[in-house]
Amino acid sequence: MNPSSSPAKYTSPYNLQRPVTMPKPRTKRQAIRDERKKKRRETHEENHQANEEERSSKRRRVQDEEQDGEQQPGFDDAANEQEQSFRGNGPEVEFFGMLADEEQEYFRRADELLELNQFPSSEERDVFLQNVYKEAKGKELKLASSQSLSRLMERLIILSNTRQKKQIFNAFASHFLSLVQHRFASHCCEKLFLESAPVVTQELGGIVPEPKVDDEMDTEEDGEPMPENTMEDLFLMTLDEFEQHMGFLLTDRFGSHTLRVLLVVLSGRPLDDAATKSMLKSKKKEYISVQGATATADELTHQLRAVPESFTLATKKIIQDAVSGMDFTALRVLAKHPTGNPLLQLLLELDISLSHKSDKESAASTKDTLLYRLLPDAPQSLSDESSQAAEFINSMVYDQIGSRLLETLLTNCPGKIFKALSRNFFGERIATYVRNDIASYPALRVLNRASKDDLVEAVKKIIPAVPLLVTKARYNVLKTLFERCEARGAYEEKSALTRALTDALGSDPKNVVPKLCHLVEEESADDKTFQQDAPQNKTAVVNHGCQLVSAMLKTSGNPTKVAQKSLLATPPDLLVKLATTSMASMTVLTTALASPAAPQNEFFHKALVGALAPHAAELAQSQFGHNVVLAIIEVPSRGDRSIPFHVKQTIIGALAEHERALRDSWMGRSVWRTWKGDMWKTRRSDWVKWAKEVDGPAEETKLKPWERRKLDQQRGLQPRPAAPVREQVQAEEQHGE
């Protein structure tokens, strides 16, 4: 459909000025902004640019000084000099101008319509988008740097096809360095990089979908088609703009964040991975989306992406350019820099994966990589306490920012270096480190990679400190110990940890779950003082305690036995509280239902479900508790992990009594649908057959006749003949008789 033949309300930018539904009235703040904009336009262009550059440089300097002053109170003289060099030679930020009032009103209204996405049909929505693209052509830089309209630019990037993304790349070309330093334009650059990453993989495989022929954005004003670069070339040309300024972008407030996104795209890492998201998205970042927008390459964001060889070479060059010219002192300062540290973590992780894939390659490679810049002459130098590498490790362990880089180093470094780090720094001091709020996190990384012998020695050193860990609510340390002992097969240590934890909680195994999950209020004065000192951490403490109980339920032997015994001793009202408090507390019960019963506790599942059954209707309407009811139907009726079938019948009967209440909430509807309540009401015998299928292959009833015959053949059974064939066989048998 040609945009020029679209309805009048979509063709002109001024048709949105006076729509049937008037936009929100302008606030006083908006009026002040408009007045300021008019004054700026009246100012001479040269004076305006000079004043703008002066103000931006002062603003950047003041913000950096305030931010660094709060989080980095004291550096030595060399560190201060290096800190000034990080931000002293930054490039000038361009001013792209401002939109006219009529244009701002049009784009603001367009942003509202796209956010609501209440178009009569998809065709009208496409027509509207084409007109917005047409009006935005040549104004991309102004839109991206606008506080109120950068959201529209992000939405346009989300909805763009491949050629439109490339045109936005071309519009931003030669201005990327200024855009990534801008508060709002940097978000547009990040969105453009993330949305364009799957296109690189698609072009590499030759499966790029062709855009519509009548797309007016694909042609120049004279009607000739635009020359088109590949997305790979566009990314590489963008990198060329950053090449001389990598050192500055490391600590730039907005540029470092955009550079992180670019590195993730170049490396081919999953874009929707949990670790990647936490690295790319700030907690204050506003999430921009479009209702009903479909992700064309959604599968490429959840898995490793194939990237061209040029991206790998570009990543290595970025790492080299970013730290070139930095001595050991500069890297040490950068490791504790609040803005530079996250980017340095990513650079180190990529450097290790690209240059140190194995110890042999590491030994054969040059010592000029980022890893050996941080740890000179490692692993031999790590045994010398006076070496630069040893000083670096000791200075990072207790630092709130530097310890995060140390975590990345311990997680990804080659085996020889890890063994040296573990032996020289964490082996004897592991019990001291796990008691500290900051140093415990690098210590946990060591425990996750420790061998069985090293883990056994670490557990022996940590067991005397278990009461202190419980007092300080360092449950994540105990959780890691249980998980690693289970993975390494350290059976005696699991029992020793369980005894130490039980003694620290009062010597009664029945109190393990109520105390760890904070189901009852502590009466101890010391505990009350601790809770008053850190009330904001109470939710995190409860979640960590619940995660510890879940880890015990997954750990065979005494940990499972103690946790199950404590759950059975917990009153039903506290079990309901456990099921409905939070996602972590609910997971305790679902994990218990999914875990096999411990020896001498064969009736655990029957007793637990029996205590929850009277509250099934209440749990089914709870945001978290309904997951427990969903888990009950998955438990078989016979075997080691089983509950009697009549208990399930009792629960579905209780749910049927509250059917109307269940249908009023999405949680209740989910439970009613999963338990097949309608089938229970109308076809009771079919429901009984379905419910008992949990004991055997549950998918068998869903099979087609030919699939069922194939399954019988795989089992070695004679396939059941079809109805006409059965009649013929019976007739032949009777005739034979």
**3 state SS for 642-678:** CCCHHHHHHHHHHHHHCHHHHCCCHHHHHHHHHCCHH
pLDDT of residue 395: 94
Q: For residue 431, is it within any domain?
A: no
> What's the rounded mean pLDDT across residues 642-671?
92
Q: Is 60 exceeded by the pLDDT of residue 721?
A: no
Q: For residue 726, is it within any domain?
A: yes
For residue 299, what are its two tokens? 């599968």
Confidence of residue 287 (pLDDT cuts 50, 70, 90): low
pLDDT of residue 543: 94
Confidence of residue 712 (pLDDT cuts 50, 70, 90): low
pLDDT of residue 498: 95
The more confidently predicted of residues 720 and 574 is 574
pLDDT of residue 292: 55
pLDDT-wise least confident of 288-302, 335-349, 401-415, 532-546: 288-302
**Percentage of residues in the chain having pLDDT higher than 70:** 71
pLDDT of residue 55: 45
The more confidently predicted of residues 38 and 271 is 271
Q: Is 80 exceeded by the pLDDT of residue 717?
A: no
Q: Average pLDDT of the chain?
A: 79
Which residues is 219 bridged to in the sheet?
A: 225
Confidence of residue 729 (pLDDT cuts 50, 70, 90): very low
Q: For residue 567, is it within any domain?
A: no
Residue 373 CA to residue 329 CA, distance in Å, equals: 10
Q: Is 50 exceeded by the pLDDT of residue 660?
A: yes
Confidence of residue 642 (pLDDT cuts 50, 70, 90): confident
Confidence of residue 423 (pLDDT cuts 50, 70, 90): very high
- What DSSP state is assigned to residue 450? -
Q: Is 90 exceeded by the pLDDT of residue 466?
A: yes
**Percentage of residues in the chain having pLDDT higher than 90:** 45
**Tens-place pLDDT, residues 434-455:** 999 999 999 999 999 999 999 9
**What predicted TM-score, i.e. pTM, was given to this entire model?**
0.76
Q: Is 80 exceeded by the pLDDT of residue 699?
A: no
Tell me the CA end-to-end span of the chain in Å, nearest whole number. Answer: 75
DSSP string, 367-429: S-SHHHHHSTTTTGGGG-TTSHHHHHHHHHHT-TTHHHHHHHHHHHS-HHHHHHHIIIIITTT
> What's the rounded mean pLDDT across residues 326-331?
87
Q: For residue 717, is it within any domain?
A: yes
pLDDT of residue 75: 39
Q: What's the total number of domains in the chain?
A: 1
Q: For residue 129, is it within any domain?
A: no
> What's the rounded mean pLDDT across residues 103-114?
89
Confidence of residue 8 (pLDDT cuts 50, 70, 90): very low
pLDDT of residue 260: 92
pLDDT-wise least confident of 49-63, 468-482, 530-544: 49-63
Q: Is 90 exceeded by the pLDDT of residue 651?
A: yes
Residue 567 CA to residue 509 CA, distance in Å, equals: 10
Residue 333 CA to residue 23 CA, distance in Å, equals: 50
pLDDT of residue 73: 38
Q: For residue 725, is it within any domain?
A: yes
728 lies in which domain range? Answer: 705-736
Residue 497 CA to residue 562 CA, distance in Å, equals: 12
Residue 406 CA to residue 301 CA, distance in Å, equals: 28
Q: For residue 480, is it within any domain?
A: no
**Tens-place pLDDT, residues 377-389:** 888 999 988 999 9
> What's the rounded mean pLDDT across residues 716-721?
49
Q: How far is CA 629 from the centre of its chain?
A: 28
Q: For residue 716, is it within any domain?
A: yes
